[in-house]
Amino acid sequence: MRRVFFFLGKGGVGKTTSAASLALTLAEGGRSVFWVSIDPAHNLWDVLGMESTSETRQVVEHLWAQEVDLEVYLHRFLKETTQKMKDLYRHLQIVNLEGMLDVIRYSPGMEESAILYALREILEAQEDKEYIVIDTPPTGLTLKIFSLPFSTLIWIDQLRKWRRKIIDRRSIVASIKGKGALGEGITGDLKEDRIYRELEIQGEQARFLVQLLRNGDLVRNVLVLNQDRLSLMESKRIKAFLGKMDIPLHLVLLNKFGLVDEEEEAILREFPFLPLRRLPYLGSYLDRDDLLSLGKSWVEEVA
């Protein structure tokens, strides 16, 4: 895997169109590309004029595409999590976790967690591709997705501290009363504690995603916006969030340029040190030649 692209921006600014122009241009140049949409409101196949499917499909030579079915990943994520909880807490006889799935699936963070679960699986499965192009949801959900591994690391670090304290107290009890006093399946040895090991695994997964998002050599973040005030305001929030998280931003695409005559000077002032490319408005429906024409005007900036 040579590079991963994330397309960020307000809903309706043309992220999918821009992602399509990149994917098709790279593929035409003989590069192997996997283009995936993690936006719950998919329109990847619409842009290509193809029938919708959740299956991976080859679009043209060197280019494969997929719209992620988040329900599938959410169910798989919940099933895997439930099984882990059953395995870890067998001594508490938790046997009816399946009945909690309908409630847990609507808990805060579940959709973001499922998208991250899908994203990691896709990255691992598509390592043979030179480029992975990722079409993201609108700003609110995307920033929650990006922030989740960072907040997860904070939680994991605290949970590990608390778990070490629990194990230390168990060890004291065992040294006084004997190991049998702890009960079956309960250990006072940190190396044998399955819950602590699972926390370390989850911490490593979150750390992988944090390092991925911050890796400016591997990841390219492309911000797409239009010449309107709302688009600019949302783009400023994205820029501020990425800066706070130390996630690099590489390119600004001023899409549908010329459709309206607003905010260009303000946009230039907001992004003075980033490459900015103006993509002309070519109409509401673009064929593959149009997309290739757009892509060739800016792809060299990030490829």
Is residue 64's pLDDT more than 60? yes
How large a percentage of the chain has pLDDT more than 70? 89
Is residue 23's pLDDT more than 90? yes
The rounded distance, in Å, linking the Cα atoms of 164 and 158 is 10
Is residue 261's pLDDT more than 60? yes
> Look-up: residue for tokens 């609507």?
106
Is residue 251's pLDDT more than 90? yes
pLDDT: which is higher, 122 or 1 = 122
Q: How many residues does the chain have?
A: 303
Least confident of 22-26, 60-64, 127-131, 182-186: 182-186
- Using one digit for the tens of pLDDT, what is the confidence trace for 71-106? 887 778 777 777 776 666 665 555 555 556 566 666
- Using one digit for the tens of pLDDT, what is the confidence trace for 100-151? 656 666 666 778 888 888 888 899 999 999 999 999 998 998 999 999 999 9
CA distances from 282 to 18, 125, 237, 285 (A): 12, 35, 28, 8
pLDDT: which is higher, 275 or 104 = 275
pLDDT: which is higher, 288 or 178 = 288
How large a percentage of the chain has pLDDT more than 90? 51
CA distances from 220 to 29, 205, 223, 299 (A): 19, 21, 10, 11
- Using one digit for the tens of pLDDT, what is the confidence trace for 205-226? 899 999 999 999 999 999 999 9
pLDDT: which is higher, 64 or 40 = 64
CA distances from 40 to 67, 112, 114, 115, 195 (A): 9, 11, 11, 9, 33
Domains, the chain:
3-301 (3.40.50.300)
Is residue 264's pLDDT more than 70? yes
User: Mean pLDDT across the chain, nearest whole number?
Assistant: 87
- One DSSP character per residue, the chain reads --EEEEEE-STTSSHHHHHHHHHHHHHHTT--EEEEE--SS--HHHHHT----SS-EEEETTEEEEE--HHHHHHHHHHHHHHHHHHHTGGGT---GGGGHHHHTTSTTHHHHHHHHHHHHHHHHTTTSSEEEEEPPPHHHHHHHHHHHHHHHHHHHHHHHHHHHHHHHHHHHHHHH-GGGG-TT--S-GGG-HHHHHHHHHHHHHHHHHHHHH-TTTEEEEEEE-SSHHHHHHHHHHHHHHHHTT----EEEEEEETSS--SHHHHHHHSTTS-EEEEE---S---HHHHHHHHHTTGGGT-
